[in-house]
Amino acid sequence: MEQVDEKFFWVWLSGIPGIGARKFHALTKYFGGAHKVWQAPKEKLTQLSPYLGSNVVYEIINQRDNKTLDGISRMLNSSSFRIITLLDDEYPDLLKQIYDPPPVLYGKGCPIINHKPAISIVGSRRPTGYGRQMAEKLAYELAEAGVTIVSGLARGVDAMAHYGALKAKGTTVGVLGCGIDRVYPPENKKLFSSMEEKGTIITEYPPGSAPVAGNFPARNRIISGMTSGVLVIEAGERSGALITVDFALEQGRDVYALPGNINVAQSAGTNKILKEGAKLVTEVQDILEELGIQKKKLKKDTASVQLDFFETQVYNALQEGERHLEELSKETKMDINKLNAVLTMLEVKGIVKQMPGKIFIRNWDA
């Protein structure tokens, strides 16, 4: 019962606006526990105003009532999410080792598996077709090899990494920069549903917390902190993914990067960190070898997929990467109507994938 009581007060203290992980740990160390902060005399708390800020002290003092504890009790007994603290076995082992681990996590979906190796995949929210394809492909192959994929459930590279892991029926964790009851960005609603059923969603922010800009840099330290390494796939010079890289370096994690087209803005940050010493990744084996995992190479059965003359022309035209519909028409010398019919058949056969904006690319798992 003593541990359960302390968990109540961990949730209470961590949920106070302005506390954050560092102030939480400093307060519990100073007073000897979260429960002791609750019991601390008003005068003693007021003396800490120069260090905590007067607004934070005000919130601590004014949120010490039964109504507050009743709300926490309802959260602890909620069927829509669970609360994981540093006191609990489910709390990620690697995350405990960082300088300022979040004292409380709110989670949905499958339990966090601590004995599996984990890699985070981050990158542009507006990746090229190549970036989307490689994020899904590498996440799929890592998950297939037994590696947990961690990312931020954002649009772009994050979403494709989660989709790749789910496609492989692997383990994946999404870290939010808002409350566990918020779907952000809203266009990822379908992905959220899949993650709730087959993956895991966590956040350090209490239910109801909005996805304000200041939350996401702090969220990134969890993404890197949960894993042994960070893989960057397409990141601009000022990409938020590079904040995750900075945290990874502070935490002693490995940094991997997929090289990108030097003429594409989304690759500027990625290529920069490669110059600075990030580990070059051109295939999944580059990461698996670092993790000490041997991946079985399976030969794909391509004989069962037959392409006619026109389909072969289009397939060959996509050899160098993504192409817009009009570019394909010029390269293959097919009119748009004929080309659309051929592309439709290639999509049905799973050979080609259409990206937004009438852009087509070879399907990596074809």
Q: Are 352 and 284 in the same domain?
A: no
pLDDT at res. 30: 96
Last residue of one domain, picked from the residues 23, 49, 77: 77
Residues 266 and 346 in one domain: no
Residue 2: predicted pLDDT:
42
Q: What is the Cα Rg of the chain in Å?
A: 24
**pLDDT tens digit sequence for 219-236:** 999 999 999 999 999 999
Query: Which residue range(s) make up the domain with 286?
Result: 118-291
Q: Are residues 198 and 123 in the same domain?
A: yes
245-298: per-residue pLDDT in tens? 999 999 999 999 999 888 889 999 999 999 999 999 999 999 999 999 987 654
Strand (E) positions, 198-250? Answer: 200-203, 229-233
Q: Is 96 inside any structural domain?
A: no
Domain contains 167: yes
Structure-token pair, residue 252: 């002693």
* Domains identified in the chain, total number: 3
Give residue 307's pLDDT band: very low, low, confident or very high (50, 70, 90): confident
Gap between the Cα atoms of 330 and 322, Å rounded: 14
Kindly state whether residues 22 and 148 are assigned to the same domain.
Answer: no
pLDDT digits 0-9 by tens, 29-44: 999 999 999 999 999 9
Q: What CATH number is associated with residue 328?
A: 1.10.10.10
Query: What's the number of CA atoms in the CB half-sphere (13 Å) around residue 22?
Result: 6
Provide the CB-side half-sphere exposure for 17 (13 A, CA).
9
Evaluate if residue 343 carries a pLDDT over 70.
yes
Say whether both 321 and 233 belong to one domain: no
Q: What percent of the chain has pLDDT over 90?
A: 76
Which 3 state secondary structure label does DSSP give 83? Answer: strand
Mean pLDDT of 44-60: 95
pLDDT tens for residues 158-177? 999 999 999 999 999 999 99
Closest among 219, 155, 148 to 183, alpha carbons compared: 155
Decide which of 17, 50, 77 is a domain's last residue: 77
* Cβ-Cβ contacts under 8 Å for 185 (sequence gap 6 or more): 154, 155
| Residue among 330, 366, 350 nearest 339 (CA) | 330
The CA distance from 11 to 9, in Å, is: 5
* pLDDT score of 297: 57
